[in-house]
Chain A
Amino acid sequence: MTSYHDDEDHVVRRLDVSLWRRMLEHSRPYRKQLAGLCLAGMTIAFCDVSLPRITGFVIDDAIATGGNNLSFYGAQYGAAVLLLSSLVYLLIVLAGSAVTGVAYDLRRKAFARLQELSFAFYDQRPVGWLMARLTSDCDRISAVLPWTLLDAIWGGFLVSGITLMMLWMNWKLALVVLSIVPPLSIATVIYQRKLIRTQRLARKTNSKITAGFNEGIAGVRTTKAFVREEENLREFQVLTAEMCGYSVRSAIYAAIYLPVIMTFGATGVGLALWRGGLISGLGFPIGDLVAFMQYAAIFHIPIQEMAERFTGLQSAQASAERLQALLDTAPTIVDSDEVRCGVLLQRRWPRPDLASDGKAHGIREIRFENVDFAYQGSSRILCDFNLTIHAGESIALVGETGSGKSTVARLVCRFYEPTGGRILLDGVDYRERSLEWLQSNLGIVLQEPHLFSGTIRENIRYGRLQASDAEIESVAQQVGAAAFISQLPKGYDTEVGESGNRLSTGQKQFVSLARALLADPQILVLDEATSSLDTETERRIQSGVETLLRGRISIIIAHRLSTIRSADRIVVISRGRIVEEGSHRDLLALGGQYATLYSLQFRREAESVAVQTASEPEQFQVRNTRA
């Protein structure tokens, strides 16, 4: 995982032209806006060059003719003013359209890609890292492209326009004034290079400071308990000192650069005044001299802007690389060409008795055939695993943490695919079926239920989007969720909050059961919670679960005694192999691993149930102690 942190800091030395060309590809739909932007940039540069010239004409006219043509030049000036301000409007709107449009497109593409990528991809990347790709990276890339393009065009035309104009007016004077360009450019390049380096260091330190605050707050009780306040502060001060150092350094760079640039600009103006003053009156009109001085005064602005944009491009390059890499990642679990063909055929000539991929809809049997599995870069989790589950049967997977029982469930869901062997649905390798079909026939209830923000109704409807309100209320009734929902002031329209955190864990569990029942899946995977809810809630959830399991292929990662005992078959997994298999009674009779697990591991549950129960009102106690 380390690599995903380090690449944030990696240093970009060269501009990767092919990468940026690919980024430009993403802005192809906005090529009209970009073309307009270039045109606007050119025209603005033209106006910027002409205005000093008009001023010069006004002066010469005033001196020579007493202002006869003043209204003519005034009109020119007025036209330029109107043109400029409407161009400014146009270019901001065009750039805005391209910036927001490209950001939108990049996000849409990246999000769609994320929906396809396999879990192996998610395992290696923290959510925060993925979030940053779709938020800040997209922002940076989309903002850098149009503005850089505009400034390159505008700056390029302005610089060459001014140069040509000066050369045309008086080439000797022009050369004198232009002598400031090389030192100006060198100073700018040095400054930008230093700046980009310190800024990168500052950013890196800044993220450490954020992490420091995070840890300081999350671990405050530990800090207090171990009286670590002083040491922690001392460690934190190292970071703040570092940060302060970098920030002061970039402030000082800016403080040096600005006056240097100003002085170069002033030197240009001074040189124009001196050499121009010497020849003024000797065929060099004073209006031209004024125009020259104005050119000299603004010459550094486009150079500065272009340098800044170039730096911006360099620092956005890391973002572009990461995003392009995300877009280029191919999902490892996808429908094969034949399956896709079947889906298309079924869509074109639908046969209602068949599934969406043109094969049989019902699942009568799931069979693991010599399945091997290893997570990327880790040792083997499942080893020559064989198991057959029939329709209507519930299987409890039992074993220690890391034994591989969760992996079995993930393979059934095709979140991962076997690295060896096959998983067969009614004799057909499930890789020959459509992923979408399998997963829409799947119900999963997780240990920590995940809800989406929105109302309870919306969350249940997630199971089947076309379901009516009556159907929603009916499934809620069936799993026993209706009781708590009806007690809420807004009932089914209660907002559950972000990730459902306005509901208790038990309430979330009920909603997720209702959601799964509404989907009416053929296969149900249940990852049972170990967390100790209060006994009464647990009992009610248990009955909801039983409703849900009825008549399906159910695979339960089991922790509770009652679930395990009520399963049709118990599969004991150890180190990726099935060590024991059979009914509760058979396995106890065997006196093997299951019996040990049962008597040791499950004794704990009994014990904590006892403490909880003892403090509850008497009437519940009797029921719970019965088998």
Chain B
Amino acid sequence: MTSKYRLIWQLMEGERLRYSAAILSLVIASCFLYLVPLVPTVVLDGVIAVNPATSGLTTRVMEMAGGRDFLRSNLWLAVLATVAFTAIAGIFTYLRGRLAGIASESIARRVREKLYDQLQHLPCSFYDRSQTGDLVQRCTSDVETLRMFLIDQVVEIGRAALMLLIPLPLMFAVDARMAGISLILIPPITAFSIVFFNRVRSRFEAVDQAEGRMSSTLQENLTGIRVVRAFARQKYEIEKFDSRNAEHRNLHYALYRLLAAFWSASDLMCITQIAIVVCSGGWWLATGSLAIGSFMFFLMVVNMFLWPVRMMGRILTELGKATVAIGRIHDILGHPRESKPAEESQTPLDESVQGEIVFRDVTFSHRAGEAAIANASFRVPAGQTLALLGSSGSGKSTIVNLLLRFYDPENGAIEIDGVDIGRMDRKDVRRQISVVMQEPFLFSKTLRENIVLGHAAAPHNEVTEATSAACIHETIVEFEKGYETLVGERGITLSGGQRQRVALARALLKQPPILVLDDALSAVDTETEIMILDALRQRRGRHTTIVIAHRLSTLMDADEVLVLDRGRIVQRGSHETLRNEQGMYRRIMSIQNDLEEQLRQDLSSVAGA
């Protein structure tokens, strides 16, 4: 709990002065606002009354303002005073609004930026455990709740308290009996409001949940519309949605009834409070123990503080929501970032990295007891190609993730050019590597912006060279806007193979010492794949390359092949050595050969028939 408030305090840094000024403005504005009812009090009791009061607050004020006769002949001063007090209160209200607005919007902005920055630096293990939807929710609606809390509630709570506290001395100075009478229902109104909103919180939540159920039914219907049509289940679906829709309506309506009860009861109490003031004021007025001006004063003051008091319960409920939201934001901001080696132990990389990769006895597991990769050791000399072969779950991708330092090994070390990457800045490691994943992510920017992601200053001829090697240049040029075509929801949708080729171009353009292809051509059609492999063959020696595939044809060119099975390297060697060795590689080859043979038989038997 305290850590949440500490978080708010930290986030307020740089804006604390502004906030304090806003609160000060609020105090000043409230003071002046309560001076306004004094004007008619003085005018009515002191200036135009037939039997003016001779002592008390009004007389003192009147004397200060130049005496009864002066005021009587210059009654316009009353307008001036009313307007002036309100205007001064207005200026400070403006200052309050402006300062609090700037302060809280700046804080909201900083929170958004902090969250964004934090999200980019959280370790991949964090993302394995989180859902995108939930994270986005925290970054948007929870930040919005926090913002509303900062701009409205902090100030409103202050305002409610001030509106009640500031007039107290004035009220008692004007008339102690009336002051007491004016406050008589305030405690029950406040208590009622607080208790009520605490009680109905669960009802609000119930409505939210019903709405959630309704929209997920809707979403399922829309995403599964083909299934609905295929079974001609429209009527069933309409009934199903109707029951959710009706449930939401009923709960929502029940909430309205509750709120109606609250507002009418609270209205009843508030207007009763005013009626009490009017009637007892009238009574004392009639008995001559209360002046008409003081009566007027209380009438105005009561109206001023009743509203904030009624809102108290509402504000406190919102406060509860805000603490929950802050907690959820804190979960993200408080999570440790990807570790960085201490400055002094950090080993800077040579300017010209050669790209030699060494794994020494590396072990890593996502879950305790299940090693994703165990005791892996291998060396890839600079400029050579290593192929990883194995079924899904054999540990191929783990090797890539470890090399990119998305995860850190539990045991052993990984070296680039003889330097332990654990002692390098993660970003320095990643700058040396280009990776193409099986399902590459493209940003919703133009194709060019996506391709120059790793090398923003690349001249156009280098871009086209990369796209040509990835066999995507022709496709891009055929688009209406060519390289300036937007990708994603607002632009075109690329097929899986096209995405993979764009990602390959992006990786090649970066011209890294190390290139990783993680099943990167799985969605590319066969003929294009052959062309791309040809282009890559021509670039041999430019990068140290790691290729992951589950097809032998893509591995033929590798200098060395590692065969992986359940996190262990079971075989290694060149294609030539492995094919002559007893083991999994031979098994794979023989199964493939069998299939090939079968294919040939199929073709020839038919041809012969």
Contacts and interface: CB of A to CB of B under 8 A. Distances in A.
Interface string B66-79: 00000000011011
Contacts of A598: 599, 602
A290 B220 contact: no
B231 A440 contact: yes
| Interface footprint category on A | 35 or more
A413 B230 contact: yes
Interface in B200-219: 211, 214-216, 218-219
Nearest to B86: A266
A465 B404 contact: no
A211 B444 contact: yes
Interface in A142-193: none
Contacts of B279: 58, 70, 73-74, 77
Contacts of A81: 268, 271-272, 275
Interface in A399-455: 400-401, 413, 415, 435-436, 439-440, 442-444, 446, 450-453
A194 interface: no
B227 A247 contact: no
B537 to A, nearest CB: 19
B165 interface: no
B495 interface: yes
B136 interface: yes
A266 B82 contact: yes
Interface residues of B, number: 167
A266 B120 contact: no
Nearest to A525: B230
A188 B57 CA distance: 38
A601 B526 contact: yes
A217 B108 CA distance: 19
Nearest to A437: B232
Interface in B422-438: 426-427, 430-431, 433-435, 437
B606 A452 contact: no
A111 B90 contact: no
Interface in A256-278: 256, 258-260, 262-263, 265-267, 269-271, 273-274, 277-278
B172 interface: no
Contacts of A232: 116, 120
Contacts of B48: 277, 280-281
A244 B260 contact: no
A262 B90 contact: yes
A62 interface: yes
B94 A255 contact: yes
Contact of B404 (A130, A224, A608, A616): A224
A92 B283 contact: no
A251 B98 contact: yes
Nearest to A602: B599
A290 B300 CA distance: 10
Interface in B332-382: none
B241 interface: yes
B249 A227 contact: no
A624 B246 CA distance: 54
Contacts of B495: 401
Given A262-B90, A439-B230, A611-B390, A126 B551 contact: no
A100 interface: yes
A67 B285 CA distance: 8
Given A85-B267, A214-B136, A259-B93, A439 B282 contact: no
Contacts of B550: 607-608, 611-612
B489 A88 contact: no
Given A96-B256, A442-B230, A111 B238 contact: yes
A222 B437 CA distance: 9
A120 interface: no
A255 B101 contact: yes
B458 interface: no
A221 B592 CA distance: 34
Contacts of B591: 609-610, 613-614, 621, 624-625
Given A114-B222, A210-B140, A244-B105, A107 B430 contact: no
A274 B79 contact: yes
Given A63-B285, A240-B113, A259-B93, A89 B43 contact: no
Contacts of A255: 93-98, 101
Interface string B524-551: 0111000000000000000000000011
B109 A294 contact: no
B222 A627 contact: no
Interface string A77-108: 11011101110111111011101110110011
Contact of A67 (B98, B122, B271, B286): B286
A334 interface: no
A137 to B, nearest CB: 13
B588 interface: yes
Given A263-B86, A436-B232, A443-B230, A221 B278 contact: no
B430 A462 contact: no
Contacts of B224: 450-452, 499
Interface stretch (A319-327, A371-379, A384-392, A587-595): A587-595
B219 A131 contact: yes
A236 B267 contact: no
B292 interface: yes
B475 interface: no
Interface in A106-139: 107-108, 111-112, 114-116, 119, 122, 126-127, 130-131, 134-135
A273 B119 contact: no
B547 to A, nearest CB: 14
B21 to A, nearest CB: 13
A286 interface: yes
B194 interface: no
A115 B211 CA distance: 20
Nearest to A400: B525
Interface in B110-150: 112-113, 115-117, 119-122, 124, 127, 132, 135-136, 139-140, 147
Nearest to B564: A615
Contacts of B234: 115-116
Contact of B256 (A95, A122, A213, A401): A95
A595 B603 contact: yes
B587 interface: yes
A214 B602 CA distance: 50
A607 B119 contact: no
Contacts of B101: 247-248, 251-252, 254-255
A78 B43 CA distance: 30
Contact of A277 (B43, B275, B552, B596): B43
B460 interface: no
A100 B252 contact: yes
Interface string A185-224: 0000000000000000000001001111111111111111
Contact of A233 (B116, B237, B390): B116
B20 interface: no
Contact of A84 (B85, B106, B139, B271): B271
B27 interface: no
Contacts of A579: none
A461 to B, nearest CB: 10
B222 A127 contact: yes
A1 interface: yes
A278 B241 contact: no
A607 B260 contact: no
A262 B82 CA distance: 11
A561 to B, nearest CB: 9
Contacts of B553: 607
A167 B292 CA distance: 24
B594 interface: yes
A422 B444 CA distance: 41
Given A100-B256, A440-B231, A612-B391, A213 B136 contact: yes
Given A74-B282, A103-B252, 6 more contacts: A100-B252, A219-B441, A252-B97, A259-B90, A608-B551, A611-B390
10 contacts: A5-B490, A111-B221, A115-B228, A131-B219, A135-B211, A273-B75, A450-B224, A462-B231, A615-B394, A621-B587
